[in-house]
Amino acid sequence: MFLKEIKQKINSTQRISQVTGALELISAVKMRKSQKIALGSRPFAQKVIEILKRLSEYQQECLQKNSFYFHKRELKKVLIVIVTSDKGFCSSFNKNILKFAEKEINETKESFKREKTTTPEIEIMAVGKKAIAFARKKKFQVKVEFSGIGDYGTLEETKPIADLLLRYFQEDQYQRICVFYTDFVSSFIQKPRKMQLLPLCSESFKDILRESAFAKDSTDKSASFAKAKKSSEVKLPEKFPDYVLEPSPGRIFESLVPQLLEFEIYHIILEANASEHSARMMAMRNACENANEIIKDLTLNYNKVRQNQITAEVSEISSAKEAMG
Amino acid sequence: MVLNIITQDRIIYQGKVSAVTLPGEKGELTVLPNHIPLITPLTGGKIKVQDANQKELFFEIESGVLEVNPVEMNVLVSV
């Protein structure tokens, strides 16, 4: 009876290891592809942020007149975008970002309370099924939910998100929009990150440029990126004349800023995707290793029990024979 | 002057150049070293790059953005 139980356990563990093994292989392929896309998009994203940063630093007068994207308005409502995966099985990937987001949300609330200003409302835009579930469980006010973005993410898929965010900001529904996402550092390390998307402000860009993975050389695979980094090391002079904006500043802000923001959202999703697949692959690899270890232990146990049984049987027979003889 | 031509998924060109001609919205424009800082949208057309060895290179684009700052020129091309 006991033997049979162990045998069953071994079989079921074997089946689990088969599933996790398959998932590991699938994730490995997806990881490679999504990493390649994410790393490829980094030079563009970096330049986008650099340009937005310089714009926000150099054109202040002009900005006040021409663009509301840079205006800091009185905070009434804050929108928080949380980017997670649709599927589970990726160890602490979702847990980390959700924990980080929750902590930041609570801290923001506290700081508003301390300052005794009117507390702005905080609403959530959940991207990915895990974020949706989280926001519902924690009873946050959820404004919109997005899910079903593919494994690699395309501009067409992420454009609705960017459009929606821009519209909210334009219509003054929200006076600040923050994004929480996971930054892909390497296959082993993914960091949760906060970024203020709107209004555009140079401090937030500085933070991103300093902290984000794309400011550092994370993997060997980012060889093309390392080259880009070199060029960004060229230090700009402290102060240079304001940009000439052709054909007109208004037109630049109208067309350029939304375009750049659209790409930022796309890039964020790519980073999150690369992180998700890397996290899942590592999780599945660990699961496989654990399963194999358990199988090894169980097999040892199985053999021991079987041997015990045989010994017992033999001694029974021989003692019976002795008694008869 | 360093020129970067970057698309959404890779770097197409990176290097020192002596002159670049781009398709601006109001017609062609040529950027030489020490140009004033400039940001302008680009339309479809050909980018002509004259590199440090006076070799000419051409890139076809659909639309994009040009940023010139005192150190480098960035052309962000959307595909």
Measured between beta carbons, the chain B residues lying within 8 angstroms of A231 are 2, 4, 14, 72
CB of A44 within 8 Å of a chain B CB? The answer is: yes
CA distance B70 to chain A (A): 7
Q: What is the pLDDT of residues B25-43, one digit of tens each?
A: 888 999 999 888 888 989 9
Give the separation between CA A75 and CA A141, rounded to whole angstroms. 17
Q: Touching check for A236 and chain B: CB below 8 Å? A: yes
**Which value does ipTM take for this structure?**
0.90
Element containing residue A183 per DSSP (H, E):
strand A176-184
The single-letter code of the amino acid at A201 is C
Q: Are the beta carbons of B40 and A40 separated by less than 8 Å?
A: no
**Residues of chain A with C-beta less than 8 angstroms from the C-beta of B26:** 246-247
Yes or no, beta carbons of B26 and A247 under 8 Å apart: yes
| Pairing label, strands B27-31, B11-24 | antiparallel
Chain B positions in Cβ-Cβ contact with residue A58 (cut-off 8 Å): 37
List the single residue in A44, A48, A243 with the smallest CB-CB distance to B38: A243
Give the CB-side neighbour count of residue A266, counting CA atoms within 13 A.
26
Of the pLDDT bands very low, low, confident and very high (cuts 50, 70, 90), residue B58 is: very high
Q: Which residue among B24, B36, B39 sits closest to A241, beta carbon to beta carbon?
A: B36
Nearest Cα to Cα of residue A200 among A49, A30, A10, A43: A49
Domain residue spans of chain A: 24-234+243-282
Q: Which of A237, A243, A255 sits opposite B41 (nearest CB)?
A: A255
Residue B75 is predicted with a pLDDT of 93
pLDDT tens digits, residue range A240-252?
Answer: 677 888 778 777 8
Tell me: cis bond preceding A199? Omega within 30 of 0 counts: yes
- Give every residue of chain A whose pLDDT is below 70, as ranges: 1, 58-66, 116-117, 212-240
| DSSP run (H or E) holding A289 | helix A249-324
Q: Which ranges of A120-189 would DSSP assign to H, the alpha helix? A: 129-137, 155-170
Q: How far apart are the first and last CA of chain A?
A: 32
- Domain A24-234+243-282 of CATH type 3.40.1380.10: yes
User: Could you give the C-alpha distances from A294 to A6, A11, A90, A277, A307, in angstroms and in order?
Assistant: 11, 11, 21, 25, 20
Look-up: residue for tokens 């835009």? A125
Note the pLDDT of residue A146. Answer: 87
Distance from CA of B55 to the nearest CA of A (A): 21
**Beta-carbon separation of B65 and A259 below 8 A:** yes
Residues 6+ apart with CB under 8 A from A157: A149, A150, A269
Domains of chain B: 2-78 (2.60.15.10)
